[in-house]
Structure 1
Amino acid sequence: MGGADFRLLFAVEERSEGEMRFAVGSWKNASIVVKLMIAFVLVILPLYGISIMITHTSSKQMQTEVEKAHESKLYFYHNHLQFELERMSGLVTEFSFDDTMSTLSTRAAIMSRYEVTSSLNNIHNKLGQIMVTSPYISDVVYYVPALHKRVSAVDGIRNVEDTEWKDLLATMGNLNGELSYSDNNLYFLKSNPYNMNHEEPPNFILGIRLSEEELKHRLQQLAETGGSDITLSFGEQHNVLISSSDEPVSAAQLHQVSPDSPESMQVTRYQSDPYLYYSLYDPDHSFTLTASIPNDVLQAPLEQYNLWLWTLTLISIVIIMIFSFSIYRSIHKPLSVLIRGFRMAEQGQTSIHIPQSRRDEFGYLYSRFNHMIERLHILIDENYVARIRTSEAELKHLQSQIQPHFLYNSLFSIKQMAEVENVELIQEFTDYLGQYFRYMSRDSHSEVSLGEEVDHALVYASIQKIRFGSRVQLQLEELSREYRDIAIPRVIIQPIVENVFEHALAKRSQGGILKLSYQVEHDKLSIRIEDDGDQLTDEVLSSLQESFQESANQRHDNEEITGLMNVNQRLRIKFGAGYGLCAQRSALGGLCMILNIPWRRE
């Protein structure tokens, strides 16, 4: 080997070692999270592969067992039917040698009429005994051509024309076996003596008529347990078909399913979408049992195992997700809490506080963040406390102005109801009035729950409804229980409702509508108060919209705008600049005031 070859071999080995060192170095420098995830996947994948193999093998075994079960059911009914047919064949042969039946035709000429009648009655009783031996027997008949008589276990004794027994005798053995098919009925027939010339009358004909209804009933019982349809056919050409369903398998399909060697007693299969056919032929009695099973029934066990496989896959994915979550939880979750706190602070929510009991680096960050928010809150308090006090003073001033005027109108309404002696309405009105003034005169709390504030606004609306009567309709949506505990400033909804009555509905003679509804979008709850007033112009609406966007210290000469601005200012002080009032034209035609407050699902 030359020097060049040694240098080439050395270069290849050096490059391989370099790639290995790079791979080892990359693995050492990889994050612990990556290492744990790779190790976890390497453990899960072999277990998952073994589970798939076991599931697939089990599903195939289950499908084979289902097919064997259908074959066993076919064999069972074949043995049962074969036993019944052999027993009926034996009964026909046995009673064909009965002394009374076999000799009546030859002795009738020397017997008296009474003796003939007595013999016929005796034969009728014997036919009845034969009939009760099997549920598959619908009738037993006995023909005496010499006497032109027919004895039936069901119909009794009657005269018969020669054409009837000749037609029956002509069908003997027409199904290539002991069974015969005549006039849409299956028979076991026996004549004595047997004669190929059907025109020459025998001494008697004995026949057992099979019950196709009972055969069909048994087939239906057998088909109920396996989800298949079973067809019983007689004759090599499937001349007679009895099925468990109303739509039996056609003779053409039965020819395809029939076994190649008729002498065998084996189940043959034939696949024809969407069915799988099982067929069993009995050469002794020339009948074929065929079961047609939908493919989806056979595939059901496989689908069940596939479902388990997908369930296992889903569980594996869930386990991986849980494991991944547990790995990232120590870093991702505390960092998300901190980021969320900064975002809330950016939105003006200075009342936030991150509860923490950690002693690691995130614990220090949480404590510094809470200290920063506390300092920021102090600065905001110093900046807004004067405006809050001013707003409260304006609210009390408005209450002192509104209450005497409202009290005068209420007392005047009570006087009118008293003049017409409407005691029940006075009771209802004064009850509402008491609730209203009790709420308005309560100065101990500057904040109440949203449920209390809405209830107060509804009390006020009910008072006005009594005053205005049929001129006003209230369309009030019920406040959901999950919103009732939201803390809001007191008396912010009732002034808006009062504004609707004073400026939109007071002059309406009929058809006035006040609508109260709620909408939730992301983390904001919107309370919509709408009317169908016809006095709102685009200029007034535009002015109102601009007023809500102006500075909180802006003063207005218009009392309507001043009251609404007071509500808007208090909301913005409480919840931040992203909340408060906004105005738009209602779908009803009048003004729609939207009161926005924060709400987050717990």
Structure 2
Amino acid sequence: MKRLLSRWNPNSIVVKLIGAFLLVMLPLSALSISITYYSSNRMQAEVERANESKLHFYYSHLGFELQRMTGMVTEYSLDEVLSAFSTRIPIMSRYEVDLSLNNIYTKLKQIKETSPYISDVVYYVPQINKRVSTSSGIRDVTSDEWQNLLNTMGNLNGALSKYKNELYLLRSNPYNLDSNVPPNFLLGLKLSSAELESRLKEFAVSGGSDITLAFGDGNGYVLSSSEKTPEWLPKEKPHPVEEAVSIQRDRDQDSIYYSLYDHSNNFRLTASIPNAVLMKPIRIYSLLLRLLTVVSIGIVALFSFWTYRTIHRPMSILIRGFRKAEQGQTGISITHSRRDEFGYLYSRFNEMLKHLHTLIEENYVQRIRTGEAELKHLQSQITPHFLYNSLFSIKQMAEVENVELIKEFSDYLGQYFRYMTRDSAREVTLQQEVEHAMVYLAIQQIRFGPRIHAEVEELEPEWRAIQLPRVLLQPMIENVFEHGLKQKSSNGLLQISYELTEQMLSIKIEDNGDTMDEDKLNLLKRQLAVQEWNQGEITGLLNVNQRIRIKFGSRYGLVVERSPLGGLCVRVNIPVRGAGHKCSE
């Protein structure tokens, strides 16, 4: 049915009928689809706003915690106990130092318990190279450790610092712009990356998205709810606006992205929400839309099938009948039992073909007989003039007493005339015709000696069984020797090759002769195109062309062109369909 529909004429009644039906159906379907899309887009917008609200909530929570911890580390950097210890160390005994360090350790543990985001609190005293940590206790340190930590203060361009792939809130007492001057003490809150990632994953699960937290310019420190950091992550710092938070939105084929940037704390919160999650609440609309589409397509298909059965199929039968009649099949008839308008058309068509068949049959037999007589006449013209040249060559070899060459030449000549006089076979295979042409080529090479060199491509096995009239290739080779290479005193070249295009095989015979100028070539093209009969010097080419056209039709025959070798290129075009089967006449 699809093949038949592809042949419909845009101006046919069937196409116009279906077109009118579609003009009614399409606006209704388009209106339904528009309503569905409008509803789904509204719901999708609500879902996007809900996810954006969740992201804002997490941002507020994180911002609050950061502000609280920042204020706390600032407050304790001015604490009397911490400050007094670092300044009174020179006048304190060893016992008083140890007691003060233990009290500071207790105070640091209290600080750590104030927020789940604090994984450790550290207190460095450069004067005695001591470090107090809630996770590792009190121990001695080198100056490099506290100095390296001090050097990272503010390296994320905000309150947070990055040291050994961990986040710190650092404060020194007293605050000094010169990092080479040791402070009295250095206080730091080490943030828990595991807790931050855990909270990110909680919000990601509730929102059905991946959330990424990035600190510093260029995303110097990144935490994500997924194992892999998303590729879409802005690195440029947005221009500040009146609000402390600026929002960026972006969308690609798979997801929608929200990015919130906190200018005061210099961190970015990014959520990537898959379109599948956004579309989940509106799947019912998508299902209804698909159902509407399927029903509409079904109605159109049923109507088209009814139109096909009622109008198109009987009309196609009639059209195929006319096409067969155009191809000459006048013996056909349309069998039917219809009593409608198509039944009347079928009956008139059958009567018309009966009368036409009678008229054609009266002329057909006469045409076939005439064609066969002309074929035999044309075929008989190929051999006579070759006999004189062969006998003259034998005479020349006899004069020089070249017995071996006479023997070889006579053997080739016997094969040649045995093939030419085999009247019982009007058709031969391409393999036989090529072998005969090679025998003729061998005879000519003996005549012309080293002046002529031949290059012959091997015939493919699948082409060897092609059926064609006898003696088609030999006249082409004869034309090369008599008109193309006859004047060559040396370096004469003859090439025979094959080329397959669609269902046509081209046998190419080329030479490097210099006797065929453009005027002669154009004249030969015109003679072959109009099938002129000429008894001049190129009768052999016209003979073969006429015989091929009588046998296979006007599509086939000879085509001449300028060869890349410089001489003439003759293409013998024959149908490939004859392989393994005898061509009908």
TM-score, normalised to structure 2, is 0.54
Tell me, yes or no, if the aligned pair for 1:145 and 1:203 is still in contact at 8 Å: yes
Tell me, yes or no, if the aligned pair for 2:209 and 2:271 is still in contact at 8 Å: no
Aligned pairs (5 A) from 1:529-544: 529-537=509-517, 540-541=520-521, 544=524
Letter in structure 1 aligned against 2:237: A
Aligned pair partner of 1:111 in 79, 82, 94: 94
User: 2: CA distance between counterparts of 1:147 and 1:292?
Assistant: 47
Tell me, yes or no, if the aligned pair for 1:143 and 1:165 is still in contact at 8 Å: no
Structure 1 residue aligned with 2:316: 333
Structure 2 residue aligned with 1:514: 495
Structure 1 counterpart SS, 2:142 = strand
Q: CA deviation at 1:454?
A: 7.6
User: 2: CA distance between counterparts of 1:469 and 1:62?
Assistant: 88
The total of aligned residue pairs comes to: 497
Q: 2:553 aligned with 1:569, yes or no?
A: no
CA gap 1:549/1:509 in 2 versus in 1, 3 angstroms: same
CA gap 1:207/1:324 in 2 versus in 1, 3 angstroms: same
Q: 2:365 aligned with 1:381, yes or no?
A: yes
Q: 2:65 aligned with 1:53, yes or no?
A: no
User: 1: CA distance between counterparts of 2:208 and 2:452?
Assistant: 71
CA gap 1:369/1:492 in 2 versus in 1, 3 angstroms: farther
Q: 2:268 aligned with 1:289, yes or no?
A: yes
Q: CA deviation at 1:158?
A: 0.8
Tell me, yes or no, if the aligned pair for 2:512 and 2:568 is still in contact at 8 Å: yes
List runs of 5+ in structure 2 lacking aligned partners: 1-12, 223-228, 338-342, 406-412, 578-585
RMSD: 7.3
CA gap 1:440/1:147 in 2 versus in 1, 3 angstroms: farther
Structure 2 residue aligned with 1:556: 535
Structure 1 counterpart SS, 2:363 = helix
Letter in structure 2 aligned against 1:533: G
Letter in structure 1 aligned against 2:567: G
Aligned pairs (5 A) from 1:236-315: 242=221, 248-253=234-239, 255=241, 258-259=244-245, 269=247, 278-280=258-260, 286=265, 288-291=267-270
Q: CA deviation at 1:147?
A: 1.1
Q: CA deviation at 1:365?
A: 1.7
Aligned pairs (5 A) from 1:203-602: 204-208=185-189, 232-233=214-215, 242=221, 248-253=234-239, 255=241, 258-259=244-245, 269=247, 278-280=258-260, 286=265, 288-291=267-270, 329-330=312-313, 332-341=315-324, 343-344=326-327, 350=328, 356-358=334-336, 360=343, 361-362=345-346, 365-366=349-350, 368-369=352-353, 372-373=356-357, 375-376=359-360, 379-392=363-376, 395=379, 398=382, 446-447=426-427, 453=430, 456-457=433-434, 460=437, 472=453, 474=455, 488-493=468-473, 495-497=475-477, 499-500=479-480, 503-505=483-485, 507=488, 509-510=490-491, 512=493, 514=495, 516=497, 529-537=509-517, 540-541=520-521, 544-545=524-525, 548=528, 556=535, 558=537, 561-576=538-553, 580-586=557-563, 588-595=565-572
Structure 2 residue aligned with 1:143: 124
CA gap 1:438/1:484 in 2 versus in 1, 3 angstroms: same
Q: CA deviation at 1:184?
A: 12
CA gap 1:79/1:100 in 2 versus in 1, 3 angstroms: closer
Structure 1 residue aligned with 2:340: none
User: 1: CA distance between counterparts of 2:88 and 2:456?
Assistant: 103
Letter in structure 2 aligned against 1:251: K
CA gap 1:530/1:480 in 2 versus in 1, 3 angstroms: farther
User: 2: CA distance between counterparts of 1:188 and 1:73?
Assistant: 24
| Larger CA deviation: 225-234 vs 202-211 | 225-234
Structure 2 counterpart SS, 1:147 = coil
Structure 2 counterpart SS, 1:381 = helix
User: 2: CA distance between counterparts of 1:196 and 1:520?
Assistant: 89
User: 1: CA distance between counterparts of 2:513 and 2:495?
Assistant: 9
Letter in structure 2 aligned against 1:391: L
Tell me, yes or no, if the aligned pair for 1:105 and 1:146 is still in contact at 8 Å: no
Tell me, yes or no, if the aligned pair for 2:210 and 2:273 is still in contact at 8 Å: yes
CA gap 1:388/1:86 in 2 versus in 1, 3 angstroms: farther
User: 2: CA distance between counterparts of 1:41 and 1:436?
Assistant: 74
CA gap 1:465/1:454 in 2 versus in 1, 3 angstroms: same
Tell me, yes or no, if the aligned pair for 1:230 and 1:291 is still in contact at 8 Å: yes
CA deviations on 1:365-404 (whole Å, 9 max, x unpaired) are 2574376347525523313414414524653785799799
Structure 2 residue aligned with 1:42: 24
Letter in structure 2 aligned against 1:496: M
Letter in structure 1 aligned against 2:379: L
User: 1: CA distance between counterparts of 2:117 and 2:456?
Assistant: 73
CA gap 1:323/1:202 in 2 versus in 1, 3 angstroms: same
Tell me, yes or no, if the aligned pair for 2:525 and 2:559 is still in contact at 8 Å: yes
Letter in structure 1 aligned against 2:535: H
Letter in structure 1 aligned against 2:169: F
CA gap 1:203/1:339 in 2 versus in 1, 3 angstroms: same
Tell me, yes or no, if the aligned pair for 2:130 and 2:140 is still in contact at 8 Å: no
User: 2: CA distance between counterparts of 1:367 and 1:441?
Assistant: 49
CA deviations on 1:461-489 (whole Å, 9 max, x unpaired) are 699599799965758699998x9998754
